[in-house]
Amino acid sequence: MATKPELPFPLGRGRGMGYLCSMRKLLMPLALVLLTACGGDDKQGPSGSESDVDAARNFIRASLDNDYAAARSYLVNDSTNLQYLETTRRVRAAMNKEENRRYHEASIRIYDARPLNDSTSIVTYDNSFRQQRNALKVVRTGGQWLVDLKYSFTDSTAQKP
C-alpha cells in the first residue's frame, strides 16, 4: 500500500492554502528588497567613465574588441563622430580573421593624458598589435567623459595642441 509522499512545506498538516498565501505575502516584499539591494546603484552605466583616461581606455577597448555599439556609448554623439566610427567599423569588417583576432587580443598602452583645460584632454596611446602612437581627444560634457574623434581624423599636418 502506497503512502502519501511528505511535502517539504506545511501544506497538508492542517494549515491549508491560507498559510501558504500569508507566507507568500510575507516573503514577497522581502524578496523584492533583496533583489533591489543586489541591483546596486550603477549611475555610470555601460557608457560611464570616471576620468578622461578611463573614457579613452573604454573606447579603445571596445574598438579593439570590434564592439562598435559599446564604442559608440563612449563617443560624443554628433554626425561627424558617428560617420568616423562607421568608417572605422567598415574598415575593421573588411579585415581578415587573423587581424581581427590580434586586435581583440591587443593590450592598450596609455603614454600620456594631457589636460588642455578642466573639460578637455588629449590621451596618447597605442596597442600591442599595431604599436603606433595615436591621440584621442576626450571631453567632459553633461558630467560624462566622451571621446571626440574629430581631433584624431583631422589633417595630420595641422598643428595639434
Question: Cβ contacts of residue 95 below 8 Å, gap of 6+?
Answer: 103
Share of the chain above pLDDT 70, in %: 66
Mean pLDDT (whole number) for 83-95: 95
**Least trusted range by pLDDT, from 11-25, 88-102, 103-117:** 11-25
Q: What is the DSSP string of 71-84?
A: HHHTB--SHHHHHH
- Tell me: the pLDDT tens digits for 11-35? 444 555 555 555 555 544 544 444 4
The C-alpha angle 50, 127, 118, rounded to 5 degrees, equals 30
**What domains can you pick out in the chain, each with its CATH number?**
52-153 (3.10.450.50)
